[in-house]
């Protein structure tokens, strides 16, 4: 009997040692903060984890009580449970509390308190185990804030929002979405996008959605027309994104819809007004060109009555000057851009006209042009056209006497911001000796110097 008792006691001792080893391992290395305290002495044992949670050393915690760690605003709920333990009404409780870290930051803990009582029912010691749930609480708060912001935007925002699934159609619709289309939520829950999309925009909408359905994109924006419940056309800007399942299939579609009808209508009015003004301006250029042609015609008729060679030349020069200006308006009239003139085309037309006027054989006098793509506004194009007319006319009339062969070079290019270089040169006889082009009675040279 004594042997059996000894064996049983030995077995109990082994179990006790194993239990103590397991507790010590959990106490020292576990992921849970553990503190053991008594009513009169406070903490008598604390593990490393509880020190890490609060930021204090073991020595510091041994001098402290729970009242030193718990946020004052959270003391009352914990004390209520603690007094129930003191009165023997319960032996344990769980609670989430705000505590104060050593660095004065607020931390959140989940606290489990259990007491071990003596045979007389009085508390021998209290075991407190706690988890740091600060990150979880912050994540919960961030999630709640995000949900609140989304709900606020969803319910009261200025953008129509709809949540839908490929299988079930619309799942949620906000009031703004209903207001834009004119339908109630109940009506829209029975409809699909096809029911209110403008027929002419159906193809574009399907193309983008099919790309998303195939997994090519997760987001797209599109401007399209919808049909309002009362039948009128509305313009909307759609932003559509999708949330996919792990297998890549679309789980949820999020659609934001902005009514841009007023903006589009204003743009259409502006475009119509601009087109009207362009038509009017084009007609003005056409009429100016025609009026100049009439003036040229009158001068030509007058020239036919003149026999003096000097006067004939003056009339011809005047006709060419007017033609050079009329040609500007001709180019503007025929151009899609009524504000600028393509000078490459203009120079080709002007030189062809001058060669024809002075009956120049292109086999004798060759024209070479080196012109980059230069465009000029009408305020610069007219004087530049006059200048070119005078320079080329002067070369054709005086540089190559007695049907002398020669060459005229014209180059025009941008040299810097806002600056254009124009060069007209010939290999003819040159200017007469002693002529001062800044002091001459020649109208042509006066125009060249003045321009």
Predicted confidence (pLDDT) at residue 446 exceeds the cutoff of 70: no
What pLDDT, in 10s, does the model give residues 22-78? 556 566 666 889 988 888 888 888 999 999 999 999 999 999 888 899 999 999 988
Give residue 286's pLDDT: 66
Q: From the CA atom positions of the chain, what is the Rg in Å? A: 48
Look at residue 12 and tell me whether its pLDDT is greater than 70. no
Determine the pLDDT at residue 382: 76
pLDDT of res. 226 = 95
pLDDT of the residue at 25: 58
The residue that leads in pLDDT, 361 or 223, is: 223
How far is Cα 28 from Cα 48, in angstroms, rounded to an integer?
6
Can you tell me the distance from the alpha carbon of 277 to that of 319, in angstroms, rounded to the nearest whole number?
Answer: 31
- The SS3 of residue 46 is strand
**Percentage of the chain exceeding pLDDT 70:** 84
Measured between alpha carbons, how far is 161 from 257 in angstroms, rounded to an integer? 6
| Superfamily of domain 157-259, CATH level 4 | PAS domain (3.30.450.20)
pLDDT of residue 236: 95
Q: Indicate if the pLDDT at residue 157 is higher than 80.
A: no
The pLDDT-based confidence of 237 (bands split at 50, 70, 90) is very high
> Does residue 447 carry a pLDDT above 70?
no
Q: CATH homologous superfamily of domain 26-138? A: PAS domain (3.30.450.20)
Domain boundaries, the chain: 26-138, 157-259, 266-450
CA gap 376, 340 in Å, rounded: 5
Overall fold of domain 266-450: Heat Shock Protein 90 (3.30.565)
Can you give 112-145 as a three-state secondary structure string? EEEEEECCCCCEEEEEEEEEECHHHHHHHHHHHH
Q: Confirm whether 26-138 and 266-450 share one CATH topology.
A: no
Given a cut of 70, whether residue 290 has pLDDT beyond it is: yes
Residue-wise pLDDT for 91-129, tens only, equals: 999 999 999 999 999 999 999 999 999 888 899 999 999
Between 103-117, 205-219, 254-268, 361-375, the lowest mean confidence (pLDDT) is in 361-375
């Amino acid at each position: 009997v004594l042997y059996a008792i000894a064996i049983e006691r030995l077995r109990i001792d082994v179990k006790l040692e194993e239990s103590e080893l397991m507790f010590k391992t959990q106490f020292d290395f576990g992921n849970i903060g553990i503190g053991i305290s008594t009513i009169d002495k406070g903490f008598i044992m604390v593990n490393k984890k509880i020190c890490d949670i609060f930021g204090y050393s073991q020595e510091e915690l041994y001098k402290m009580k729970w009242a030193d760690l718990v946020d004052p605003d959270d003391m009352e709920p914990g004390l209520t449970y603690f007094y129930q333990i003191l009165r023997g009404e319960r032996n344990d409780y769980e609670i989430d509390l705000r505590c104060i870290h050593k660095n004065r930051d607020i931390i959140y803990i989940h606290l489990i308190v259990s007491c071990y009582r003596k045979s007389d029912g009085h508390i021998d010691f209290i075991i407190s185990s706690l988890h740091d749930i600060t990150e979880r609480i912050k994540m919960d708060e961030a999630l709640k804030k995000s949900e609140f912001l989304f709900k606020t935007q969803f319910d009261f925002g200025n953008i129509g929002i709809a949540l839908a699934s490929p299988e079930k159609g619309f799942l949620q619709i906000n009031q703004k979405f209903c207001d834009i289309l004119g339908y109630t939520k109940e009506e829209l829950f029975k409809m699909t996008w096809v029911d209110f999309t403008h027929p002419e925009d159906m193809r574009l909408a399907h193309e983008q959605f099919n790309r998303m359905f195939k997994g090519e994109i997760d987001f797209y924006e599109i401007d399209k027309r919808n049909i309002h419940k009362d039948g009128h056309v509305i313009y909307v800007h759609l932003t559509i994104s999708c949330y996919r399942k792990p297998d890549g299939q679309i789980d949820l579609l999020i659609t934001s819809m902005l009514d841009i009808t007023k903006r589009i209508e204003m743009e259409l009015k502006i475009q119509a007004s601009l087109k009207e003004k362009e038509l009017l301006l084009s007609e003005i250029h056409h009429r100016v060109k025609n009026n100049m042609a009439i003036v040229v015609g009158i001068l030509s008729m007058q020239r036919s009555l003149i026999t003096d060679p000097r006067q004939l030349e003056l009339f011809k020069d005047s006709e060419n000057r007017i033609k050079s200006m009329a040609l500007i308006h001709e180019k503007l009239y025929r151009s899609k851009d009524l504000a600028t003139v393509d000078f490459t085309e203009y120079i080709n037309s002007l030189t062809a006209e001058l060669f024809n006027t002075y009956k120049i054989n292109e086999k004798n006098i060759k024209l070479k042009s080196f012109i980059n793509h230069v465009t000029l506004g009408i305020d610069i194009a007219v004087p530049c056209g006059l200048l070119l007319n005078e320079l080329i006319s002067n070369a054709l009339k005086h540089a190559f006497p007695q049907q002398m062969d020669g060459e005229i070079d014209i180059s025009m290019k941008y040299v810097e911001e806002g600056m254009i270089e124009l060069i007209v040169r010939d290999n003819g006889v040159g200017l007469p000796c002693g002529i001062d082009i800044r002091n001459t009675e020649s109208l042509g040279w006066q125009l060249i110097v003045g321009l």
